[in-house]
Chains A and B, each alone.
Chain A
Amino acid sequence: MLARRIPRALAAARTSSVAPRLSQIRWASTDSAKPLRRTGLYNFHVENGAKMVPFAGYEMPLTYSGVGQVDSHKHVRSSVGLFDVGHMVQHYFRGAGATRFLEWLTPSDLNSLPNHSSTLSVLLLPSGGILDDTVVTKHTPDLYYVVTNAGRREEDLTWFASKLKEWNEKHGDKVEHQILEDWGLVALQGPKSADYLQGFVDTYDGKQYDLKQLTFGKSAWLSIGGVKVHVARGGYTGEDGFEISLPPSETVAWTRKLYKFPVQLAGLAARDSLRLEAGLCLYGNDLDESTSPVEAGLTWVIGKNRRTPGDDKASFIGADAVISQIEKGVSRKRVGFLVEGPPAREHAPLFAPSSSEQIGEVTSGIPSPSTGKNIAMGYIATKYSKRDTEVEVEVRGKRRKAKVTKMPFVPTNYWRGEGVLKQ
């Protein structure tokens, strides 16, 4: 799922393409003034040698002792890693109006979404800008489980509260909002995660739920390791995996039970390189309030039946702006790049070849641990956004060659069911 992280060494470097000094290497994204929160697994991380860093208002594990970012990344790609994503905000929306309410706040076609299914979505502002990206799980038309970014907690909660009040004043089909405060959220990610987790699924009357039934994007409440947990198949790495929501009182013991060979604990560092290889956006880097889903390449989250101007189904917040963008096109688009020489990081400016004309900016970039190439994503003027277009990117004052490339950079490996070819 989506975490807000600024994978940067130093906040000051935001404003320039100059790298920080070694003495300033930090993993920072949070106003340092506020006291940092801890997830229920804080002590578990420390016991396991985590390097804890401030992130999105929380102290979160960056890496664990003895395992570098590259090794951790590769372990998730080849085996199974366990991430604490309990900093993310988990919500329930309940009530007869839940579908219509969430179809007002998001452009998704939730009415057609099957029960116990998830979709990536966006909370839109009236401008069409993205307040946050989110994963919405429909259990039934009157019960939704929603996960939003920790780094957008205050903005999202304020938004939900005011929109909920407005809704319930105007409509008979009321909606209730519950925040799952202090609930655990653990992600098991990697090609071996299903086989591994299957061993912990409880057996009743001689029957054991087969996780093969739970395909990518599906959710279920299952009894695993003696606890009834919410399991969603998916994640933020491009690999097969599960996100498991745990009651506060069970989180630590359950996670300890699940942390056995071949599971390796994985932190924010690996999470960032994995999601970028998978072409997934990070709010705060690749998405923000000035970015629309159409520019971000997320037009697919806008339901096909929600794009007719004036239609009742097209009455979501931000509809005017994004529908007009779909019809008329946008001036910039999010695309992937391969970069020669040094990696291009966020805020590196993009130029037309041998020209002083700036045509865009990198929003995330790393040397890819899986491919050995420098990968990046960013926004570029639409006329340069076609695949294989050659452009230039400036790193430390020098122009480097970059080429527009399809994403994901590494093929995704989702479980879409028996006999279904992997992408």
Chain B
Amino acid sequence: MAARLIPRVFSAGLAPRASFQFAHATARSQFLSMRAIATKKYTPEHEWVLYDDATKIGTISITDYAQKALGDVVFVELPAIGTELAQGDNIGAVESVKAASDIYAPISGKIIEVNKGLDDKPGLLNADPEGEGWLCKIEASKPEEIDSLLDEAAYKQLCEEGHQE
């Protein structure tokens, strides 16, 4: 069963900073967020996506498990707004002193917003990877792909198995 979460990221993240083109979608999402529920799913690659059925917009970042594995994040490379991606395409990278890691699109779609705050404060990814440290927002072109991702329980199990390796 997928974890159903109140979309707290959306209410903060989709402020009308977005271009005029998305103003309508933004307003709608804010309105709908009063009662819409979003689905949080995970990839085996330790990305998460918080998907809103009503707006078809997914917010993407890396999990707490991933940020711990990486250590202090010092640089984040984000996709250009408007980039069209297929599920599994590279959308950017997260770098710590120790390693660079590619980030892949959990679902297909178009990038509509990136978290500019990470340019100055890449450490947000360590401090709040599943909140303020969001990477980007994608407008899903194949919403059904959400169903193929891991729910919270399945993802947790995957992490635990990874620990035992």
Contact = CB atoms under 8 A, between A and B. Distances in A.
Given A22-B45, A63-B71, A69-B72, A396 B98 contact: no
Which of B96, B99, B103: most chain A CB closer than 10 A? Answer: B99
A230 interface: no
B98 A27 contact: yes
Interface string A1-27: 000000111000000001111110101
Interface stretch (B15-23, B33-41, B50-58, B62-70): B62-70
A22 B69 contact: yes
A387 B71 CA distance: 33
B84 interface: no
A9 B101 contact: yes
Nearest to A369: B97
A21 B104 contact: yes
A22 B93 contact: no
A303 interface: no
B101 A19 contact: yes
A341 B72 CA distance: 17
B112 interface: no
A238 B43 CA distance: 41
B interface: dominant SS? strand
Interface in B116-158: none
Contacts of B100: 9, 19-20, 342-343, 345
Interface string B73-110: 01101000000000000100111111111111000000
A73 interface: yes
A273 B77 contact: no
B105 to A, nearest CB: 12
Contacts of B45: 21-23
Contacts of B90: 396
B72 A342 contact: no
A70 interface: yes
Contacts of B95: 19, 342-343, 367
A273 B97 contact: yes
Given A68-B71, A269-B71, A396-B93, A9 B62 contact: no
Nearest to B102: A19
B101 A25 contact: yes
Interface centre among A22, A73, A273, A366 (most CB of B within 10 A): A22
Contacts of A343: 74-75, 95, 100
B47 interface: yes
Nearest to B92: A396
B69 A367 contact: no
Interface residues of A, number: 26
B156 to A, nearest CB: 14
Contacts of A8: 99
Nearest to A372: B74
In the complex, which of the residues B96, B97, B162 has the most CB atoms of chain A within 10 Å of its own CB atom?
Answer: B97
Given A342-B77, A367-B74, A69 B98 contact: yes
Contacts of B69: 22, 25
A367 B97 contact: yes
A92 B41 CA distance: 58
B98 A269 contact: yes
Interface in A309-360: 341-343, 345
Given A19-B93, A342-B93, A25 B99 contact: yes
A225 B101 CA distance: 44
A70 B99 CA distance: 13
A69 B97 contact: yes
A338 to B, nearest CB: 14
Nearest to A13: B100
B96 A21 contact: no
Contacts of B162: 23
Given A69-B71, A69-B72, A20 B44 contact: no
Contacts of A345: 100
A22 B62 contact: yes
A18 B47 CA distance: 18
A220 B116 CA distance: 55
Contacts of B74: 70, 343, 367
A291 to B, nearest CB: 24
Nearest to B162: A23
B99 A367 contact: no
A367 to B, nearest CB: 4
Contact of A68 (B72, B77, B99, B103): B72
A367 B130 CA distance: 24
Nearest to A374: B75
B97 A269 contact: yes
Nearest to A73: B97
Contact of B46 (A19, A23, A70): A23
A8 B100 CA distance: 8
Contact of B103 (A18, A22, A69): A22
5 contacts: A25-B101, A73-B97, A269-B97, A345-B100, A396-B102
Given A343-B75, A396-B90, 20 more contacts: A7-B99, A8-B99, A19-B95, A19-B99, A21-B101, A21-B104, A22-B47, A22-B69, A23-B44, A25-B69, A25-B70, A27-B98, A68-B72, A69-B97, A269-B98, A341-B75, A342-B77, A342-B95, A343-B74, A396-B93
